[in-house]
Amino acid sequence: MKFSIYDFSSFTQSIHELLTGVMSPTWVFITELAIVGLIFLLFYAVLGLFLVYLERRVCAFIQNRLGPNRVGPQGIFQTIADLIKLLFKELFVVKNADKFLFNLAPFVVIIASLMAIGALPYAKGLQALDFNIGLFYIIAVTSLGVVGILLAGWSSNSKYSLLGAMRSGAQIISYELSVGLSLLAIIIFAGSMQLSVIVESQANGWWIFKGHIPAFIAFVIFLIAATAETNRGPFDLAEAESELTAGFHTEYTGIRFAFFFLAEYMNMFLAAALATTVFLGGWMPLHFGNFETFNRIMDFVPPIVWFFGKTFVVIYIIMLFKWTFPRLRIDQLLTLEWKYLLPINLVNIVLIAFLVLMGWHF
């Protein structure tokens, strides 16, 4: 079995051949489905827990505290202990709540983000779903998450939940537009929606460098809109603790609450990973024009390290947003989207289309 950290396609191919030798094509298909599903579920849970830990440490760092530091080295097992606690908590259902929808809502939210995470290219040859509508697929399935939030808010039979869900829904639907349009900018540059093709097109330079200023504007808009779409601070008025207790998941306890929490963090990861893939070159190493030695050294770092390195830089930026900016009011939030981001975005796209038409980008 050939294994190379720089190219996973030969490794996955050899697993496929190994399975084909043992069983019929139908069972190969089912087995591969099960393996990939299991890997993604594990990845989802472990990464989600790590992100929660990271957020607490970053928050503590910004507020001049230590954060969790007792369970395990540097408190790394703190969130695992929290998860075990949540698993043992009672699952409580409010009187007169719609039980069926109440139980369904966390699954809708978590499935929507899990479906999107399967389509990301993590390294060369390490991508579960490579549709030729890749980016469109991700935008489509992430838009399902809002259904779960609305269902959770309504079925809880609680005013806080309903108000939180309404705010959250209005926010997500508005900012989805900006996310889509800023990604469209790079689709115009790359000439494809397929994520692997978009990454390949950045082999000689990331789009944020190659696309002049319009690509940078699109990147900034994407960061703002994606932060808002994931309901994170400073746009977290959907779960503004001081006024709405916890927004749409006020009435949720135990592992059901953990599902919402996990999905929120994984949506942040998804936003950062998308920014990485589309604007920052995905798993492509950093190259500078003709500095041969420098480029060779950069090539030596495995693609998967590049991908997660860049993603965590973006995640850190998103976390900085949350802990440094004050929360927006609902009218400010909607003004920002409809009166600033959307017009800038539309002009930006026309500009980019013109750039591409004239062939002025690198």
Partner 1 sequence: MSLEQIMFTLFAVMIMVFSILTIASRRILRAATFLLFVLLSTAGLYFWLNYEFLAGVQVALYAGGIVVLIIFSILLTHHINHRFDKPALGNLIAGIGVAVLGSALAISTLLSFDFGTKATEAIPVDVNAIGKQLVSTEHNGYALPFEVISILLLAALIGAIVVARKEDVTETESK
Residues in contact with partner 1 by the rule CB under 8 A: 26, 29-30, 96-98, 100-101, 104, 131-133, 136-137, 139-141, 143-144, 146-147, 150-151, 153-155, 157, 162, 165-166, 169, 173, 191-193
60 vs 188 by CB, closer to partner 1: 188
Q: Mind giving me the DSSP string for 288-347? A: -TT-HHHHHHHHHS-HHHHHHHHHHHHHHHHHHHHHHSPPPPHHHHHHIIIIIIHHHHHH
Shortest spacing between CB 274 and partner 1, in angstroms = 16
Q: Mind giving me the DSSP string for 267-304? A: HHHHHHHHHHHHTS-TTPPP--TT-HHHHHHHHHS-HH
Shortest spacing between CB 45 and partner 1, in angstroms = 24
63 vs 96 by CB, closer to partner 1: 96
Shortest spacing between CB 140 and partner 1, in angstroms = 4
Distance CA 310, CA 220 (A): 15
Shortest spacing between CB 170 and partner 1, in angstroms = 8
Q: Which tokens hold the place of 165?
A: 């869900």
3-state secondary structure of 76: coil
125 vs 134 by CB, closer to partner 1: 134
Q: Which tokens hold the place of 176?
A: 């989805």
**DSSP class of residue 74?**
G
8 A C-beta contact, residue 195 and residue 121? yes
133 vs 301 by CB, closer to partner 1: 133
Shortest spacing between CB 164 and partner 1, in angstroms = 11
33 vs 42 by CB, closer to partner 1: 33
100 vs 288 by CB, closer to partner 1: 100
Which parts of 143-182 are beta strand (E)? none
In this structure, the number of other CB atoms found within 10 A of the CB of residue 314 comes to 23
Please name the residues in contact with 345: beta carbons below 8 A apart, sequence gap of 6 or more. Answer: 178, 181, 182, 218, 221
Shortest spacing between CB 209 and partner 1, in angstroms = 25
Shortest spacing between CB 185 and partner 1, in angstroms = 16
200 vs 299 by CB, closer to partner 1: 200
